[in-house]
Structure 1
Amino acid sequence: MSETSFYTRAAFYWANVPATIDGILGGFGHISDIDIDGSKAFLREIFRFKNPPGRQLALDCGAGIGRISKNLLIPLFDKVDLVEQDEKFVDAAKKFIGENNRHLGTVYNIGLQHFKPQKMYDVIWCQWVLGHLNDYDLISFLERCNDALIRDGVIIIKENITTTNEVDYDEEDSSITRPYELMKQIIDEARLQILKTDIQLGFPDDIYPVYTFALAPIEPSDIEIV
């Protein structure tokens, strides 16, 4: 499949998904609370680091209707920016969060493969969206996020991971699910290091395992000179 077709088919799929929690979670809206609770626990661990990220500005990537922004990030950060390519979801997110909510920052209506951060962030949150980027664009996106981190800032990835060593392609929504080793390789190529990883508990057995990664830039002293 061509790169253009890969992204076009995904955009078409999401254009026809209702702007509801059940819609954006593919019929699994009932797991939303479990997911948010797991993410809260993970962030609590991150904030216990010796040099934790700040709480001034977060970025929600592939924000959908703002489920994660409203329920996870806005209670913890002074401002939260959103990136979402589907205009219908952008409008729904503003309503769901509240356009007058003082914690709502800038909402960018653009796909992640084209998004270039204009600000510096304490936390960049990417959940259930990176499967819509091919490997090349994912590495480039993570590199741009790397450059957009404030000192001690982190990138959080929460994504489905295959139980095999193979990539799974979903023709319905034009997305890929990667194995753990490929995710690690992509993270390495983006010159990021894994500070912490965890597996979400409490999800149904018939869905992919969901891993959460906390990433930070590789400091010069950590880079092996060949």
Structure 2
Amino acid sequence: MNKPVHKFYSDAEDYWSKIPPTIDGMLGGFGHISQVDVQGSRIFLQQLFKSKNPPGRTYAADCGAGIGRISKHLLLNIFDKVDLIEQNPIFLDRAREYLGSKLIGKVGNFIPVGLQNFQPETNKYDIVWIQWVLGHLTDAHCIQFFTNCIRSLKANGMIIVKENITSSEITDVDENDSSITRPIHFLKSLFESSGLDCYRQMKQTSFPKELYNVYMFALKPKVHESETNLEITVSTNTPGDIVSKLNTGGELKNDAANVPELVFQNEVKIGIVL
């Protein structure tokens, strides 16, 4: 995907601005899988709550929340409070209606921001839930986002990632919605570079065969955030553009005109995917 970083994000924003704020819209035309998806996520969370030193059930973050599908059918039934983080204000407006009067009072905040710019409060969340949205972040911004999320965790808190995974060693590129889908080892390299240990993982079952494999990962900080060995620099040519030194999965580089260009290794272009 040879395009400037700002266009990577603006193209995705433009794509989602044209998507209807419905379950089918949020799931790329596969709204019928929502119940199975939530059931798999609930089982995974239940396993975590039965583990040694489980996370609390006070506060969760729903990252890339859309219209609040996961919050309504999963998180708000488990946690006392949930923040919804979503860059599309139309989706958040719909979420206020979709959640209904009984659940809306359990929402802490509706936060209209992209995850690459999300700055969570310190020591706030028991669970940070991140589903089907990391493909819209560059590798560098994934690391930055994870690092910020680590600081937001309470004692025994966890970050949960539920994401599409390619079945090959190749990073798939979808030009239609300006997103990528990473191989599992690329994704795990981002966890590692962010200072996260993969505590548990589980494959989602009972999805249509034409969809990607989907995995859930429970992540714990492996060291104190101040000790995380993370090498991120800021481009002197373009203030504010994050440039990662991570060499697995993808990298940011400057082209001949000193414009940041997004490059993912071993990529292949594809059509519409979930």
The TM-score normalised by the length of structure 2 is 0.79
Partner of 2:68: 66
Partner of 1:118: 121
**2:56–2:126 Cα contact (<8 Å) kept:** yes
Partner Cα separation in structure 2 for residue 153 and residue 189 of structure 1: 19
Q: Displacement of 1:147 after TM fit?
A: 0.9
1:14-66, CA deviations, whole angstroms, 9 ceiling, x for partnerless residues? 00000000001000000000000000000000001110000000000000000
Partner Cα separation in structure 1 for residue 145 and residue 170 of structure 2: 22
Deviates most, 75-84 or 90-99: 90-99
**1:128–1:159 Cα contact (<8 Å) kept:** yes
Partner Cα separation in structure 1 for residue 171 and residue 208 of structure 2: 21
Q: Displacement of 1:110 after TM fit?
A: 0.5
Q: Is 1:7 paired with 2:4?
A: no
Q: Is 1:97 paired with 2:99?
A: yes
Q: 1:76 aligns with which of 72, 78, 92?
A: 78
Q: 1:56 aligns with which of 48, 55, 58?
A: 58
Partner Cα separation in structure 2 for residue 41 and residue 140 of structure 1: 29
1:60-85, CA deviations, whole angstroms, 9 ceiling, x for partnerless residues? 00000000000000000000001000
Q: Displacement of 1:94 after TM fit?
A: 1.1
Partner of 2:182: 178
Q: Displacement of 1:118 after TM fit?
A: 2.1
**1:170–1:176 Cα contact (<8 Å) kept:** yes
Q: 1:151 aligns with which of 132, 151, 155?
A: 155
Partner Cα separation in structure 2 for residue 73 and residue 139 of structure 1: 24
Partner Cα separation in structure 1 for residue 151 and residue 190 of structure 2: 16
The residue type paired with residue 105 of structure 1 is: G
The residue type paired with residue 210 of structure 1 is: V
Partner Cα separation in structure 1 for residue 121 and residue 151 of structure 2: 10
Instruction: Output the aligned Cα RMSD.
Output: 1.5
**2:195–2:223 Cα contact (<8 Å) kept:** no
Q: 2:18 aligns with which of 16, 19, 25?
A: 16
**1:97–1:104 Cα contact (<8 Å) kept:** no
Partner Cα separation in structure 2 for residue 138 and residue 105 of structure 1: 24
The residue type paired with residue 137 of structure 2 is: L
Q: Displacement of 1:105 after TM fit?
A: 1.0
Q: 2:141 aligns with which of 124, 132, 137?
A: 137
Q: Displacement of 1:103 after TM fit?
A: 1.1
Partner of 1:44: 46
**1:199–1:210 Cα contact (<8 Å) kept:** yes
Q: Displacement of 1:99 after TM fit?
A: 5.9
The residue type paired with residue 109 of structure 2 is: T
The residue type paired with residue 201 of structure 1 is: T
Unaligned runs of 5+ in 1: none
SS at match of 1:41: helix
The TM-score normalised by the length of structure 1 is 0.96
Identity across aligned pairs (percent)? 48
